[in-house]
Amino acid sequence: MEWSVLQQYGPSLLKGFGNTILCWALGTVFGMALGLVIALIQRYAPRWVRWIVQAYIEVIRGTPFLVQLFVLYYGGPLVGLRLDALPAGLLGLTIYGSPYFAEIFRSGFRAVPHGQIEAARGIGMSEADVVRRILLPLGLVSSLPALVNFSIILTKETVILSIITVPELLYQVQRMSAETFRYVEANLVLALFFWGLVETISRVGLRLEARITKHLIERT
Amino acid sequence: MLAASSVEMRKVNKYYGKFQALKDVDLSIPPGKVTCLIGPSGSGKSTLLRCINFLEEYDSGEVRIDGQLIGYDAPNKKMSGRKLREMRRSIGIVFQQFNLWPHMTAKENVAEGLIRVRRMSKADADRRASEALAKVGLADKFASHPSRLSGGQQQRVAIARAIAMEPKLMLFDEPTSALDPELVGEVLSVMRTLADEGMTMVVVTHEMGFAAHVADQVGFMEKGELIDIGSPDRILHRPQDARIQSFLRTYHERNSF
Ligand SMILES: Nc1ncnc2c1ncn2[C@@H]1O[C@H](COP(=O)(O)OP(=O)(O)OP(=O)(O)O)[C@@H](O)[C@H]1O
Ligand SMILES: [Mg+2]
């Protein structure tokens, strides 16, 4: 092992890690937001709209992320969508994650006891208020473990962005490997960073879950 | 004496797919009176009750609250959501499973409808919610979440949630069936108080004691039909119909030891 190369490449690795976190965080937030919209559409929109959305879900889930990125980044300009690598990567992650998040929200909504929704309708609450005050808060809570789980999976999908030259961690690691032939060290750094990131997310997730569900657990 | 609604049902039919859950049900519920519905499981009691506030959509016939048709503007023409919600504001419903919102405290559960539906200020809603909770004997449980309350307490919060809206009609669907026997009394006594105040109440129940002592009329349902309706004495003690006799016989056998 030869760790001295890290002194030289440290800053660029850190910058790469920063970009990884940025892509992951924004991709997750946007992907969740889009997923939530999709889940609500599937619950409330007319049949033909749901059918279109369902087709979108099938296509995205049925194709590899890599292919989606290529289509977006290299195919985009053909239809006038010219994006830099980073925004293209972010958009790609958002699209890629959205159907999975939608599915998580959908089953989260289904976990809300129908009686609690009927109780809200029964006192004359509008459907918008039912969603805002009952369905969303309760549905989100039951979605939380799966949301955390899938956002952890998404951390590892960010490395694919290196293929469209987004300067994230894998991109920097590969550059360092190519220039110094220190493959082992470079990939250990990669593994270590990801392990730290995943560990942090899952811990924060568990805390969040414990805090939010404090009142929801039945007394025994 | 509070304003109390009447309910008129005429030839109400309800289908779940091909299965007919209600068959030409005619029912008059006079204002300020307590009507109990009894009958075997699956006979359509809940369905009937839920047609009254249109939580269940009946397919034909009429359900009128104080003369106003609920759910439809005309046959086959659904009422707008806004109009339906307006009618529901004056109809309270209490479910077997309480259906409190677990992410809100007792007081928040009661205040929610006042704020969202009655458009009250938070302060006014809080005051009204506290009064309603005090009325059902839960003055010390304002800040408790449902998960920290017993079944009887949860059901009383659910009743408070309904009466805080100042309904003119209260629907109860087996309000004590999910409760441990020792908790049934506290809920029934709250209901009895409401009845004494002149609330129109429709109660689906297996509590024959409550039906016998509190109801002004008792209806018996079987296979989607309202077989008979009359005074508690006539239905429960001198039933004419063989189906009612057999239902009551089974009930007595099960409840004696
Ligand atoms: N959503 C539904 N879809 C299909 N069938 C239903 C539905 N709801 C009720 N039914 C059927 O309609 C019939 C009447 O149901 P309902 O719940 O009104 O009976 P009930 O008298 O309240 O019975 P219980 O005493 O068990 O509560 C039953 O046979 C039931 O299986
Ligand atoms: Mg029932």
Rounded to the nearest angstrom, the distance between the alpha carbon of B177 and the centre of ligand 1 is 16
Structure tokens that stand for A64 in this block: 């590899």
Structure tokens that stand for A52 in this block: 């279109």
Rounded to the nearest angstrom, the distance between the alpha carbon of B109 and the centre of ligand 2 is 24
Question: What is the distance between the alpha carbons of residues B219 and B230, in angstroms, rounded to a whole number?
Answer: 7
The bridge status of strand B225-230 relative to strand B217-222 is antiparallel
Q: Please give the full DSSP string across B188-205, using - where no structure is assigned.
A: HHHHHHHHHTT-EEEEE-
Q: pLDDT band for position B98 (50/70/90)?
A: very high
Q: Is A111 on the interface with B (CB under 8 A)?
A: no
Q: By C-alpha distance, which of A145, A124, A125 is closest to A134?
A: A125
A88: number of CA atoms within 13 Å, CB side? 25
Enumerate the H helices of B18-105 as residue ranges. Answer: 45-52, 81-88
Residues, CB-to-ion distance under 5 Å, ligand 2: B 46
Closest by Cβ to A127, choosing from B81, B91, B112: B81
Mutate to test the interface with A, among B49, B54, B93, B147 (most CBs of A within 10 A): B147
A90 and A24 in contact (C-beta within 8 Å)?
no
Structure tokens that stand for A83 in this block: 């994006």
Write out the H or E segment, with its range, that includes residue B222.
Answer: strand B217-222
Work out the angle at residue B143's Cα, subtended by the Cα atoms of residues B140 and B144, and round it to the nearest 5 degrees.
Answer: 85
Distance in Å, alpha carbon of B100 to nearest chain A alpha carbon = 6
B214 and B191 in contact (C-beta within 8 Å)?
yes
Spans of all domains in chain B: 7-90+169-255, 100-166
Residue B174 has pLDDT above 90, yes or no: yes
Question: What is the distance between the alpha carbons of residues B59 and B23, in angstroms, rounded to a whole number?
Answer: 11
Question: Which CATH class, in words, describes the domain spanning B7-90+169-255?
Answer: alpha beta
Using a 6 Å cutoff on CB, does residue B102 contact ligand 1?
no
Question: What is the distance between the alpha carbons of residues A141 and A112, in angstroms, rounded to a whole number?
Answer: 10
Using a 6 Å cutoff on CB, does residue B21 contact ligand 1?
yes
Residue B201 β-bridge partners? B34, B170
B202 and B52 in contact (C-beta within 8 Å)?
yes
- For residue range A150-194, list pLDDT tens digits in order: 999 999 999 899 888 888 888 888 888 888 888 888 888 889 999
Work out the angle at residue A17's Cα, subtended by the Cα atoms of residues A11 and A19, and round it to the nearest 5 degrees.
Answer: 105
Three state DSSP letters for A105-164 = HHHHHHCCCHHHHHHHHHCCCCHHHHHHHHHHHHHHHHHHHHHHHHHHHHHHHHHHHHHH
What pLDDT does residue B2 have? Answer: 59
As a whole number of Å, the CA-based R_g of chain A is 21
Q: By C-alpha distance, which of A168, A166, A188, A167 is closest to A177?
A: A188
Averaged pLDDT for residues B2-17: 91
Contacts of B152 (CB under 8 A, 6+ apart): B179, B180, B183, B184, B186, B187
Question: What is the distance between the alpha carbons of residues A89 and B150, in angstroms, rounded to a whole number?
Answer: 52
Rounded to the nearest angstrom, the distance between the alpha carbon of B53 and the centre of ligand 1 is 17
What pLDDT does residue B244 have? Answer: 94
Put simply, the answer to whether B100 touches A218 (Cβ < 8 Å) is: no
Q: Is A138 on the interface with B (CB under 8 A)?
A: yes
Residue B202 β-bridge partners? B35, B171
Q: Is B152 on the interface with A (CB under 8 A)?
A: no
B81 contacts in chain A (CB < 8 Å):
126-127
Q: Is A66 on the interface with B (CB under 8 A)?
A: no
Question: What is the distance between the alpha carbons of residues B91 and B104, in angstroms, rounded to a whole number?
Answer: 22
SS3 B250: helix
Structure tokens that stand for A75 in this block: 């195919």
Instruction: List the domains of chain A with CATH numbers.
Output: 4-219 (1.10.3720.10)
Distance in Å, alpha carbon of B93 to nearest chain A alpha carbon = 6
- For residue range B185-236, list pLDDT tens digits in order: 999 999 999 999 999 999 999 999 999 999 999 999 999 999 999 999 999 9
Contacts of A186 (CB under 8 A, 6+ apart): A173, A174, A176, A177, A180
ipTM of the complex: 0.92
Question: What is the distance between the alpha carbons of residues A220 and B66, in angstroms, rounded to a whole number?
Answer: 44
The mean of the pLDDT values for chain B is 94
What pLDDT does residue A220 have? Answer: 43
Strand arrangement of the beta sheet that strand B68-69 belongs to? B19-29, B7-16, B60-65, B68-69
* A136-157 and A183-212 helices, crossing angle to 10°: 170
A168 and A154 in contact (C-beta within 8 Å)?
no
The bridge status of strand B34-38 relative to strand B217-222 is parallel
A144 and A212 in contact (C-beta within 8 Å)?
yes
Using a 6 Å cutoff on CB, does residue B42 contact ligand 1?
yes
Distance in Å, alpha carbon of A203 to nearest chain B alpha carbon = 23
What pLDDT does residue A218 have? Answer: 55
**Which parts of chain A register pLDDT below 70?**
1, 217-220
Distance in Å, alpha carbon of B162 to nearest chain A alpha carbon = 7
A89 and A153 in contact (C-beta within 8 Å)?
no
Could you say which DSSP state residue B142 is in? Answer: T
